[in-house]
């Protein structure tokens, strides 16, 4: 297993196996710097190299379990705002998947790292995690549909992109890698279909919106991209409330 900590994924280019419609591309272009920074965070380097301390990973996973509950709530809220039944169902499925599919990953690490559902429920959210959750939920409740979906999109997109960049850079996951299950989840090609569906909806909702709503959506997308970096950071520093 590689023990280097200088694995960077900022400049790795991958051929995405899902279409990126123009509005999604313009969101990424507008957020390019923060998007790139997430692939280069020290937490990500150490995670890939397998050198990340178990305590930091445990902290991340526990905060993430609560984050995924909020993601699921935001997707469920979006479903109530979709006039089209197919869109409604898609967001209901996305809400379910966040808890079921990634929940399995979390349950496995819970056993391995020694935490359970009651500890997750009792956890104090870090400031960064709380802010990211509030951003997604308030946008899902009060923003336009395109803005709500734009705020949700970086969560799956950034991780799937990271998983694929890691695969391109690292190749096969070593058998003895301590975070093999995490690495395997986010490079799973099954997520390509999920991304195609999500980005196609983002485009359709952008097309139906006016220019002001599209601009707000880009801002909401960029905020989530920044929060993604801040999520690595809160785990890396084991962030606590200052007072």
Contact residues for ligand NSP, defined by CB under 6 A:
64, 67-68, 102, 155-156, 159, 228, 231
Nearest alpha-carbon partner for 172 in 187, 162, 156, 158: 187
CB of 64 to ligand NSP, least distance (A): 5
CB of 125 to ligand NSP, least distance (A): 12
CB of 121 to ligand NSP, least distance (A): 18
d(CA 195, CA 183): 18
Output 57 or 67, the one with its CB closest to ligand NSP.
67
Output 91 or 231, the one with its CB closest to ligand NSP.
231
| Contact between 79 and 91 (Cβ < 8 Å) | yes
Output 160 or 209, the one with its CB closest to ligand NSP.
160
Output 132 or 205, the one with its CB closest to ligand NSP.
132
Where do runs of H (alpha helix) occur along the chain? 22-30, 32-38, 42-49, 54-81, 85-113, 117-122, 127-142, 145-152, 154-170, 180-186, 191-208, 211-236
Output 41 or 214, the one with its CB closest to ligand NSP.
41
d(CA 188, CA 194): 11
CB of 85 to ligand NSP, least distance (A): 25
Question: For the residues of 200-241, what is the DSSP string, one character each?
Answer: HHHHHHHHHS-HHHHHHHHHHHHHHHHHHHHHHHHHHTT---
d(CA 94, CA 198): 9
CB of 157 to ligand NSP, least distance (A): 9
Output 37 or 213, the one with its CB closest to ligand NSP.
37
Instruction: Please work out, in degrees rounded to the nearest 5, the angle formed at the alpha carbon of residue 27 by the alpha carbons of 194 and 166.
Output: 55
CB of 77 to ligand NSP, least distance (A): 17
């Amino acid at each position: 297993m590689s023990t280097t900590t200088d694995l960077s994924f900022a400049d790795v280019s991958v051929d995405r196996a899902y279409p990126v419609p123009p509005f999604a591309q313009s969101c990424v272009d507008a957020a390019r710097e923060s998007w790139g920074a997430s692939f280069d965070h020290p937490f990500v380097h150490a995670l890939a190299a397998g050198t990340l301390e178990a305590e930091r990973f445990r902290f991340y996973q526990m905060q993430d379990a609560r984050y995924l509950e909020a993601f699921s709530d935001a997707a469920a809220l979006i479903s109530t705002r979709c006039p089209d039944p197919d869109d409604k169902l898609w967001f209901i499925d996305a809400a379910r998947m966040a808890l079921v599919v990634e929940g399995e990953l979390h349950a496995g690490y819970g056993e391995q790292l020694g935490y359970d559902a009651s500890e997750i429920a009792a956890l104090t959210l870090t400031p960064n995690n709380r802010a990211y959750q509030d951003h997604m939920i308030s946008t899902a409740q009060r923003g336009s549909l395109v803005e709500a979906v734009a705020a949700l999109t970086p969560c799956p997109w950034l991780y799937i992109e990271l998983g694929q960049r890691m695969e391109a850079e690292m190749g096969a996951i070593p058998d003895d890698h301590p975070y093999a299950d995490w690495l395997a989840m986010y490079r799973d090609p099954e997520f390509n279909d999920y991304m195609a569906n999500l980005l196609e909806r983002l485009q359709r909702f952008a097309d139906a919106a006016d220019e002001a709503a599209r601009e707000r959506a880009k801002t909401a997308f960029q905020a989530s991209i920044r929060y993604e970096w801040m999520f690595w950071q809160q785990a890396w520093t084991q962030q606590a409330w200052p007072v």
